[in-house]
Amino acid sequence: MSSVQELIRTEADGSISFGDYHLDKKAKAEDFESGGDLYKVKTYSEITKLERNGMFVYESVPGTAAEHLTVDDYGMEFTVSGDQDAQITVQLEEDMEYEVFVDDFAVGSMRTNMSGKLSFSVELSEGIPVQVRVTRR
């Protein structure tokens, strides 16, 4: 995967795919409805950001493309692509401990801050998607 051509889309399984790190200029899509929620995505080579119902969900620096993002009470899962390593921040339950897995390899246990944000890095190379799973402990 290299980018989501529509900037954001709903997959057949109900998950969300979004982002295009190949863009030189900022692009955004607002009021994208999926599963009763409204999404907004801003993306380009330097940053990708996703909001649901006006609330932060995902951000990467530099920009990435994420596919099949699912979020539930126990964490989130998605596949991410980019042309360079990225710092990813996601919104989860506040002050809770989570295990982060990258391509099924546990990279560590981390605690969200008081606002529920969790940040981690992923090593990315063009054309090689990476599976990320964040699970509450």
- Could you read off the pLDDT of 32-86 as tens digits, one per residue? 999 999 999 999 999 999 999 999 999 999 999 999 999 999 999 999 999 999 9
> What's the domain count of the chain?
1
Whether the predicted model's global pTM rises above the 0.75 cut: yes
Whether 2 is covered by a domain: the verdict is: no
pLDDT tens-place string over residues 90-132: 999 999 999 999 999 999 999 999 999 999 999 999 989 999 9
Whether 1 is covered by a domain: the verdict is: no
Whether 3 is covered by a domain: the verdict is: no
* pLDDT at position 2: 56
The enclosing domain of 58 has a CATH number of 2.60.220
Domain membership of residue 89 as a residue range = 8-136
The answer to whether residues 75 and 112 touch, using CB atoms and an 8 Å cutoff, is: no
Whether 24 is covered by a domain: the verdict is: yes
Sorted by sequence, the CB contacts under 8 Å of residue 107 that are 6+ apart come out as 100, 101, 120
* pLDDT at position 1: 46
Burial 10-27 (b: 16+ CB within 10 A, else e): eeeeebbbbbbbebeeee
